[in-house]
Amino acid sequence: MSDTGMTRISTAFTRARASGRATFMPYYIAGYPDLETSVAVFKALAEAGADLIEVGVPFSDPLADGPTNQMAAQMAIEQGTTVRDVLDVVARLRDEGIGIPLVLMGYYNPFLAYGIENLCADAAAAGADGFIVPDLPPDVRDGEAMRARCREHGLAFIPLLAPTSTEARIRAVARAATGFIYLVSVTGITGEQERLPADLAAFVARVRRHTDLPLAVGFGISRPEQAAQVARIADGVVVGSALVKLGRDPDAVEQIRTFVSRFATIM
């Protein structure tokens, strides 16, 4: 078993922390608006200052996602993007010299259809570093099985916590997590928000009492000033829907590069 994925994630957070900033973690959906454009976007994200990229795996029923990400996922599926295609995107990025962590974020059904053992083996071979699976709690039977396969292949299993999580739930997730923990800033779906929740700092502090793992905050962060606020209380900042929204523009890659560079310099 190689632990390359876990090492890359740990190194990304350590380097950012040593520079006095949070880890910047943009999210974009593979295959949107087409496969080649998404590859170019992922390269632009890395070049513009991303510390870690969440590579979205399209699914027809993304329950945790808002309208922007749902639309992008559906378009990627209509383009024929499969889990195998997403793994090939990761392998291409590695072949082209992208060295930052690449974490696959997707729903359980496509992963289960692919086969969890094959998925984890192929993801590790492609150069992925871990999984975020919003609809798979780590302490149910399927979650435990996927965690075990991830562990065997040196991949992080990164669970989510919501502001409504109980102390018992936080403890259970903290025990199961590897790599980092994804904190959902709001209860509900992804999408741009006018302002951050007033109790976000208290939520982050509540989780931090239970773990030494890095804590990344996502959902609703769409402007650099919001990212800067989150960076003061968390170890990582996730920006997704605001990026995905730019994906259909004719000059999407350059628009996204400019957009991301504004976040990277303010973190």
3-class DSSP state for residue 138?
coil
The structure tokens listed for 141 are 């039977």
Grouping H, G, I as helix, E, B as strand and the rest as coil, residue 57 is: coil
pLDDT digits 0-9 by tens, 203-221: 999 999 999 999 999 988 9
What is the Cα–Cα distance from 69 to 239, expressed in whole angstroms? 12
Q: Specify the pLDDT at position 265.
A: 81
User: pTM of the entire structure?
Assistant: 0.93
Secondary structure of residue 39 in the 3-state scheme = helix
Report all structural domains of the chain as residue ranges with CATH numbers, in order of start: 4-266 (3.20.20.70)
Residue of 189, 225, 71, 64 whose CA lies nearest to 134? 64
Residues classed as catalytic: 54, 65
| Predicted pLDDT at 267 | 74
In this prediction, the residues of the chain whose per-residue pLDDT falls under 70 are: 1-2, 5, 62, 64, 187-195
Q: Find where tokens 């999580």 sit.
A: 165
Give the model's pLDDT for residue 172.
Answer: 95
Q: What is residue 191's predicted lDDT score, i.e. its pLDDT?
A: 42
Least Cα distance to 158 among 130, 184, 186, 135 occurs for: 130
Burial class (CB within 10 angstroms; exposed 0-12, middle 13-18, buried 19+) of 70: buried
